[in-house]
Amino acid sequence: MSLSLENLHKSKPNLQKLQHDSFVEAGIELFVLRLDEIHPIISGNKWYKLKYNLIEAQKIGKLLTFGGAYSNHIFATAWAAHQLGLKSVGIIRGEETLPLNHTLSKAKEWGMEIHYISRTEYRNKNDEEFVNLLKAQFGECFVVSEGGANDLGVKGAEEILQHTDLSFNHVVCSVGTGAMMAGIVNSVREETSVTGYASLKGASFLNEEVARFLKGGHQNWSINLDYHFGGYAKTTDILNDFIEKFEFDFEIKLDRIYNGKMFFGLMERIRNGGFKAGNKIVAIHCGGGQN
Ligand SMILES: *Cc1c(COP(=O)(O)O)cnc(C)c1O
């Protein structure tokens, strides 16, 4: 088992072209960047957002981060810290529920110290004073924002498209914290439009979240707030049926929290003539299945 960051993760994501009658009718080409395949545990965008955070954490030997009880970020961080020989603390939103779910029992198995705080307290997660109190409690550590949504996380996300030729007209991704989307917007050509699909309900604040991480003057991006299906981690029969059919048609599994909603919105836009004939679109499959 390797303990160096370079060996933790190397693979370059596959860019897969999908075939469907509706694409032929619309005259578009759709590619999927398969971040879900790059690693069985740190799958999807989590690797990119963690990379530079882990490099900083290695200087201290310990990291502390935040997440919900089902967080892909907690899962990925606990594993990466374990692989690198770093101590880790997970500050979890809400009360402990026993038996521990898969996410948290794995995190614990990988040596993460789990600490629960109330939903009210959790709102202070980005507060300097609150973070200092946590540092006093858990000792000197490098603090990674929830979901890896900090400057270093965005810097990593800027590398998501690095192996593609960037000749796309549109890039489509899902939005949780918006850190990945900010990295994507920072990395594309000016002519390329970026659309994010929010998995949270009523999340217009995400526009500011993304904007605060943007570097250049890229204006050509927007967040679609219409495909939350009831809210974060909520689903409907329509969404479930779509995910099943998508897997049948393309042999690609989608999670219900992020990718299912994004592809639902994207396929609808394609059917409704929302893209010009000749356009090349890349959708980012961000993983999300915890193994
Ligand atoms: C974390 C995650 C997202 C959201 O990424 P943000 O950078 O927080 O917006 C999207 N899809 C999947 C599968 C994820 O695990």
For residue range 84-134, what is the model confidence (pLDDT) as tens digits?
999 999 999 999 999 999 999 999 999 999 999 999 999 999 999 999 999
- 8 Å CB contact between 59 and 35: no
pLDDT for the residue 7:
67
* Minimum-distance ligand 1 atom for the alpha carbon of 258: 11
Tell me the two tokens of residue 198.
């929010």
pLDDT for the residue 10:
64
pLDDT for the residue 1:
39
- Distance between Cα 286 and ligand 1 center (Å): 6
Q: What is the residue whose two structure tokens read 């949270």?
A: 200
pLDDT for the residue 233:
85
pLDDT for the residue 54:
96
- Distance between Cα 21 and ligand 1 center (Å): 29
The correct answer on CATH 3.40.50.20 for the domain covering 45-148 is no
* Minimum-distance ligand 1 atom for the alpha carbon of 73: 1
The correct answer on CATH 3.40.50.1100 for the domain covering 5-41+159-285 is yes
Q: List ligand 1's pocket residues with C-beta within 6 A.
A: 44-46, 72-73, 147, 149, 174-181, 255, 258-259, 286-288
* Minimum-distance ligand 1 atom for the alpha carbon of 153: 7
pLDDT for the residue 3:
53
* Minimum-distance ligand 1 atom for the alpha carbon of 175: 9
pLDDT for the residue 218:
86
Q: Where are the domains of the chain?
A: 5-41+159-285, 45-148
pLDDT for the residue 11:
76
45-148 shares the fold of 5-41+159-285: yes
pLDDT for the residue 8:
67
Q: From CA 46, how far away is CA 53, in angstroms rounded?
A: 11
For the chain, list residues with pLDDT below 50: 1-2
